[in-house]
Amino acid sequence: MADTVQNYVELHDINKNYGDFQASHQINFGIEKGKLVALLGPSGSGKTTILRMIAGLETPDSGEIKIDGQVVNHIPANKRGIGFVFQSYALFRYMTVYDNIAMGLQIQKVPKQQIKERVTELLDLVSLKGLENRYPNQLSGGQRQRVAFARAIAPNPQLLLLDEPFAAIDAKVRQELRSWLKEMIGKLGITSIFVTHDQDEAMEVADEIILTNRGRIEQIGSPSEIYTYPKTAFTASFFGQNAQLEGYQAFHTFGDVPGADKALIRPEFVKVYKLDEKQQYPESASIGTVEQISFRGDRTELQINVNGLLITAKRNLGESPIAVGEQVKVFLYRIFVLKGEEVILLENEAVNSNYFNI
């Protein structure tokens, strides 16, 4: 099956230990040419380690890394055809923006005129025209990131690796840069892998997400796939704004899973009705008390206590307002039930029966 698609990057059974700490354990994945892939996971889960092994900055203890069909384990970093954007950019402080971008080309002995053309083109691409004689410390965080990006792609690498490319940038600019980077990479068509610990970032930017946890890969899939159909308990609990609770049977009309540990409820699984509002499945709603309301701009977030279980729900601004202390009807469309490492998606049986009744 793996041979039907030509993967540009492939990792086979990669293991890496630091002392007796296992930073990577049996890592296997393939990335198609031209894809933008996120390595997502909590801090310390081994994302950077994987990226550095692909780059050649770190050597795996066992396993094979292939780039463009060639095993690169023993090929030095600068011969792998990669560009790397470091977490804190690592721009050369004593070189101007121009020299930073030109350096990689100078080393490849590209003729001066050609270097000049390429750097000018790149400065244009990253909208830094006119800043070529500045030093990195004279730039804003976003500008520095774009210099780092231009420096990495200057020698025309076939694979671009980015370690937490947005981590050092303040929230407002970060949002802009995300879309900018996605657009830029799309335009260049360069296969790219970026590391992030931010699920929103990964889902927004990536074509595909590789989720890591404790040095292992939990799941690989498109953002919607991995979000909607988590295959492991970890994946289910990593994504979304989960409320974890025990005793989900308190909510109505869910099937029983023998031996289940607890349930996960995402806000979008929950529908809240005022007591006097009309409701589709009255028999399967539970009554709860609103404990807290937080305003989130386009919506409000409610914390609702249902028989001692606290769940989060969203309510759009258009809907009639709800006050703290108010009693409401709570309906759950579905829940994730966790059982060991497993996750089981339960749909509310009221919805199903209704569906079959039509």
Partner 1 sequence: MAIKRKKTRVIPGFGLSFGITIAMLSLIVIIPLCSLVVFTAQLSFKEFWETVSRPRVLSSYWVSFSTALVASLINAVMGLILAWVLVRYDFPGKRFMDGLIELPFALPTAVAGISLTHMTVSTGWVGGFFAKFGIPIAYTKAGITIALVFIGIPFVVRSVQPVLEKIDYQYEEAAQILGFSHARTFWKVIFPEIFPALISGFTLAFARCLGEYGSVVFIAGNTPYETEITPLLIMSELQEYDYASATSIALIMLFAAFVILFINAVLQSRASKKIGKIA
Ligand X SMILES: Nc1ncnc2c1ncn2[C@@H]1O[C@H](COP(=O)(O)OP(=O)(O)O)[C@@H](O)[C@H]1O
Write out the residues near partner 1 by the rule CB under 8 A.
55-57, 76-78, 82-84, 86-88, 90-95, 103-104, 107-108, 135, 137-140, 151, 155
If one asks whether residue 151 binds ligand X (CB under 6 A), the answer comes out as no
How many other C-beta atoms lie within 10 A of the C-beta of residue 99? Answer: 16
If one asks whether residue 18 binds ligand X (CB under 6 A), the answer comes out as yes
CB of 105 to partner 1, least distance (A): 9
Q: Which of 7, 45, 145, 196 binds ligand X (CB under 6 A)?
A: 45
CB of 160 to partner 1, least distance (A): 11
Per-position DSSP letters for 27-83, written without gaps between them:
EEEEEETT-EEEEE-STTSSHHHHHHHHHTSS--SEEEEEETTEE-TTS-GGGS-EE
In whole angstroms, what is the distance from residue 167 CA to residue 87 CA? 7
**Of 10 and 164, which CB lies nearer to ligand X in the complex structure?**
164
**Of 143 and 213, which CB lies nearer to ligand X in the complex structure?**
213
If one asks whether residue 49 binds ligand X (CB under 6 A), the answer comes out as yes
**Of 48 and 312, which CB lies nearer to Mg ion in the complex structure?**
48
Residues near 22 by beta carbon (within 8 Å), at least 6 away in sequence: 15, 16, 215
Q: Which of 47, 80, 118, 315 binds ligand X (CB under 6 A)?
A: 47
In whole angstroms, what is the distance from residue 73 CA to residue 80 CA? 10
By a kind-dependent CB cut-off of 5 to 8 A, residue 41 interacts, out of partner 1, Mg ion, ligand X, none, with ligand X
Q: Which of 11, 23, 264, 270 binds ligand X (CB under 6 A)?
A: 23
Residues 50-89 as b/e (b if ≥16 CB within 10 A, e otherwise) read: bbbbbbbebebeebebbbbeeebeeeeeeebebbbbbbeb
Contact footprint for Mg ion (CB under 5 A)? 48
Q: Which of 8, 11, 27, 46 binds ligand X (CB under 6 A)?
A: 46
CB of 140 to ligand X, least distance (A): 25
Residues near 349 by beta carbon (within 8 Å), at least 6 away in sequence: 253, 254, 255, 284
Q: Which residue is nearest to ligand X (CB)?
A: 48
How many other C-beta atoms lie within 10 A of the C-beta of residue 11? Answer: 23
Q: Which of 26, 30, 34, 44 binds ligand X (CB under 6 A)?
A: 44
**Of 48 and 219, which CB lies nearer to Mg ion in the complex structure?**
48
What separation in angstroms does the CA of 330 have from each of 128, 138, 269, 294, 345? 52, 54, 10, 18, 19
Pairing of strands 159-163, 191-196: parallel
**Of 9 and 23, which CB lies nearer to ligand X in the complex structure?**
23
Chain positions contacting ligand X, by CB under 6 A: 18, 21, 23, 41, 43-49
